[in-house]
Structure 1
Amino acid sequence: MDVDPSPSSSSYSTSLVLPKIDENNTLEMRNPKERMIEILDVLEGQVEKLRKEAYQLEENKDQLLSSLDSVRNADLLLDDNDREDINRYADRIMNRCLTVEVKVLTNRDQMQEEALHQVNHLIDGLVMGLKVDPVSAKLKCVSYMNACSSNVENGVTDKRFESALLGCTLDDQKRVKKRLQGLLNYFDKSKITSLQ
């Protein structure tokens, strides 16, 4: 049995290469377990690549939705009819984008589920506070971002958020950091500045 990479017939990714098992190769001197482990190693690498590509698709979708939201909320000098046309067009594109669902599941134990729930609750509170007090919301977002990083800006770290974040899986921690970075980018686009 020999493992040869052969092109996949899948049309979604031309770079996906799966092993082909040749059981007629009698010249192979390795034992069957070693050969099977080699095959599984190749497959595990492909699964990780697939997960990474799916994460990238999720991120692309979020960026598209964010851009559409920015277009809809842009303060351009449009009359009411033009604004209505633009919003209808943006809504149509947004609804089309929402028909795409990409989901990568992360295995979590009960404590990790609770930690992620707490982190999401804190971030949701931050987003809700954006409408009431954008300056305070930005400062809190920076303190949350500092909890995600070893490089601390302005020396402020939210310890409650950091504690909850440390209870999350590494995949969740990466996603939370990206989500917070997206919020900080939104603050920057909105030109929300602190009163320091």
Structure 2
Amino acid sequence: MDVDTMAIESASGPHIDDSLTSETDKTPKDRLLDLLDQVEIHVERLRKEAGKLEEERDTLYTTLDTIRNSDLLATLDLNDREDILRYCERVTGRCLTVEVLVHTNRDRIQEEALHQVNSLIDGLVISIKADPSATKVKCMSYMAACSSSTLQGISDKNFETAILGCTLDDQKRIRKRLQGLLDYMNQEPIITGLD
């Protein structure tokens, strides 16, 4: 067969079984389609793994932001606080050297919906310090809007309308982002207080 499966396999990359493509009872087109089916499976696996890396990187950014905004920093003397902030900036700089991108194709309406959802979530983040309990309730209503289950509670209808305009991939990421924010709010007193 003329297709270079070695180029596809690369060092530790996916193994493409071209024995399926050497069957004599299949037409060349069918053999190529079989090979493309295998490649597509590997591409989807790669997208999923890259998405996990994106989430892990975003979690690290969130943790670094939490440290930067922690009330515990205020309890440190000036030198210690500056040391911690320099260390945090150094780690943030290292984190910024990692670029992972899984592009999600969106039309104009989906772009606008994602922008609206992100604006609503950013509003939550801003309001955490001012009114944590109301922010937590609002976050839970956003989570309920992401779920088809009525057990999740009362959903925010504006958020629900916006999220339904997003792609499925975006909806999954938004739900994880909200869950991370909710987890942060649930542990926030532990992180920021000195009980």
Q: Tell me if both proteins adopt one fold, taking TM over 0.5 as the criterion.
A: yes
CA distance in 1 between partners of 2:18 and 2:112 (Å): 43
Return closer, same or farther for 1:153/1:184 CA change in 2, 3 Å cut-off. Answer: farther
Provide the C-alpha distance between the structure 1 equivalents of 2:152 and 2:145, rounded to a whole number of angstroms. Answer: 12
Structure number with higher strand proportion: 1
In 2: Cα distance, 1:56 partner to 1:157 partner? 27
TM-score, normalization by structure 1: 0.83
Which residue number in structure 1 is paired with residue 24 of structure 2? 28
State the identity as a percent.
Answer: 55
**Alpha carbons 2:113, 2:163 under 8 Å: kept:** yes
TM-score (norm 2): 0.83
- Residue 38 of structure 1, aligned match among 15, 34, 37: 34
Q: 2:173 aligns with which of 172, 175, 180?
A: 175
* Equivalent residues, number: 186
Matches within 5 A, 1:107-186: 107-152=105-150, 155-186=153-184
Whole-Å Cα distance in 1 between the matches of residues 105 and 152 of structure 2?
35
For 2:62 and 2:120, the matched residues in 1 are separated by 21
Structure in which a larger fraction of residues adopt helix: 2
Q: Following TM superposition, by how much is the alpha carbon of 1:5 offset from its aligned partner in structure 2, in angstroms?
A: 7.2
Name which structure has the greater RCO, CA cutoff 8 Å, separation 6+.
Answer: 2
CA distance in 2 between partners of 1:120 and 1:164 (Å): 10
Structure 2: gaps spanning 5 or more residues: 191-195
- Superposed CA offset, 1:128-158 (max 9, x none): 2223322211111000001111334562210
Question: Distance in 2 between the 1:173 and 1:142 partners?
Answer: 15
Question: In structure 2, do the counterparts of structure 1 residues 122 and 69 end up closer, same or farther at CA, with 3 Å as the change threshold?
Answer: closer
State which drifts further: 119-128 or 183-192.
Answer: 183-192
Where structure 1 has 5 or more consecutive residues not aligned to the other structure, the ranges are: none
Q: Is the 8 A contact 1:2 1:21 kept in 2?
A: no
Q: Provide the rounded CA distance (Å) in 2 between the counterparts of 1:39 and 1:79.
A: 63
